[in-house]
Chains A and B, each alone.
Chain A
Amino acid sequence: MEAGRSPKLPSLKNLVGETLWEVWFMALKLTTRLLCAAAMTVVLAAGAQAEDKVVKIGVILPMSGSTASIGAHAKAALEVATDIINNAHPELDKLPLAKNAGLAGLGGAKVEIVIADNQGSPATGQNQALRLITEEKVVAILGAYQSGITLTSSAIAEKYGIPYLTPESVAANLTERGFKWFFRTTPIAPDFVRIYDEFLTDMKAAGAKTDTIALVHDNTEYGTSVANTITKGFKEKGRTGVIDVAYAVNATDLQAQVLQLKEKKPDVVLMISYTSDAILFAKTMQSLDYKPPMLLADDAGYSDPSFIKAVGKLSQGVFNRSSWAVGPAGSPSAVIADMYKKKSGEEMEDTVGREMQGFFVLVDAIDRAGSTDPAKIQAALKATDLKPEQLIMGYKGVKFDEKGQNVLASAYIIQLQDGENYVSVWPKGNAEKAPVMPYKGW
Chain B
Amino acid sequence: MSFVLVQVIVGGLLLGAVYALFSSGLTLVWGMMNIVNFAHGDFVMLGMYVAYVVYTLMGGGPLLGAPLAVLVLATLGVVVYFGLIRDIMKGPMLAQILGTFGLALLLRYSVFWWFGADFKSLPQNIVGGTYAVAGLRLEASRLLAGVVALLVTLGLHLLLTRTSLGSKMLAVAEDATAAQLMGIRPDTMQAIAWAIAAGATGLAGALIANFFYIVPTVGETLGIVAFVTVSLGGFGSVPGALVAGLLIGVIESLSGFLIGAVYKDIVVYILFLFFLWFRPQGLMGKV
A→B interface (CB under 8 Å): 1-5, 13-14, 17-18, 21, 64-66, 68-69, 71-72, 219, 245-248, 250-257, 259-260, 262-263, 275-276, 279-280, 283, 286-289, 304-307, 309-311, 313-314, 442
Q: Is the CB of B261 within 8 A of A256?
A: yes
Pick the 7 closest A-B CB pairs, nearest first: A256-B256, A68-B117, A310-B121, A247-B261, A256-B257, A306-B118, A306-B119
Residues of chain A contacted by B137 (CB below 8 angstroms):
287-289
Known: A17-B90, A256-B11, A310-B121. A2 touches B265 (CB 8 A): no
Residues of chain B contacted by A18 (CB below 8 angstroms):
92, 94
Residues of chain A contacted by B178 (CB below 8 angstroms):
3
Q: Is the CB of B119 within 8 A of A219?
A: no
Place the interface of chain B in its size category: 35 or more
Interface centre among A66, A257, A289, A313 (most CB of B within 10 A): A66
Measured in the bound complex, the distance between the Cα atoms of B253 and A313 in whole Å is 27
B195 to nearest A CB, angstroms? 20
Chain B, residues 112-141, CB within 8 Å of chain A (1/0): the string is 100011111100100000100000010100
Q: A1-B34, A250-B220 are in contact. List 5 more A-B contacts (CB 8 A).
A: A21-B91, A64-B117, A252-B225, A253-B252, A306-B120
Measured in the bound complex, the distance between the Cα atoms of B175 and A296 in whole Å is 61
Closest to B34 in A: A1
Measured in the bound complex, the distance between the Cα atoms of B249 and A253 in whole Å is 9
Closest to A301 in B: B119
- Check B222 for interface membership: any CB of A closer than 8 A: yes
Interface centre among B90, B124, B220 (most CB of A within 10 A): B124
Contact partner, A3, options B8, B177, B252, Cβ 8 Å: B177
Chain B, residues 223-235, CB within 8 Å of chain A (1/0): the string is 0010000000000
Q: Is the CB of B221 within 8 A of A66?
A: yes
- The binding surface of chain A is classed by DSSP as helix
Q: Is the CB of B264 within 8 A of A248?
A: yes
B→A interface (CB under 8 Å): 4, 7-8, 11-12, 15, 33-34, 90-92, 94-95, 109, 112, 116-121, 124, 130, 137, 139, 142, 173-178, 211-213, 215-217, 220-222, 225, 249, 252-254, 256-257, 260-262, 264-265
Residues of chain A contacted by B220 (CB below 8 angstroms):
66, 250
B54 to nearest A CB, angstroms? 17
Q: Is the CB of A310 within 8 A of B92?
A: no
A183 to nearest B CB, angstroms? 28
13 contacts across the A-B interface (CB closer than 8 A): A1-B34, A4-B176, A64-B117, A219-B262, A245-B260, A245-B261, A247-B262, A250-B220, A256-B257, A279-B213, A287-B137, A309-B118, A311-B124
Residues of chain A contacted by B217 (CB below 8 angstroms):
64-66, 68
Measured in the bound complex, the distance between the Cα atoms of B178 and A286 in whole Å is 56
B8 to nearest A CB, angstroms? 6
Residues of chain A contacted by B4 (CB below 8 angstroms):
259, 262-263
Known: A2-B175, A247-B261. A68 touches B15 (CB 8 A): no
Q: Is the CB of A287 within 8 A of B211?
A: yes
Q: Is the CB of B112 within 8 A of A287?
A: no
Contact partner, B124, options A256, A307, A309, A314, Cβ 8 Å: A314
Residues of chain B contacted by A2 (CB below 8 angstroms):
33-34, 175-176
Residues of chain B contacted by A288 (CB below 8 angstroms):
7, 137
Residues of chain A contacted by B112 (CB below 8 angstroms):
64, 68
Contact partner, B261, options A13, A68, A248, A304, Cβ 8 Å: A248
Q: Is the CB of B124 within 8 A of A1?
A: no
Residues of chain B contacted by A304 (CB below 8 angstroms):
119
Q: Is the CB of A256 within 8 A of B8?
A: yes
Q: Is the CB of B253 within 8 A of A255?
A: yes
B5 to nearest A CB, angstroms? 9
B246 to nearest A CB, angstroms? 14
Contact partner, A279, options B94, B121, B174, B221, Cβ 8 Å: B121
Q: Is the CB of A311 within 8 A of B121?
A: yes
Q: Is the CB of B264 within 8 A of A14?
A: no
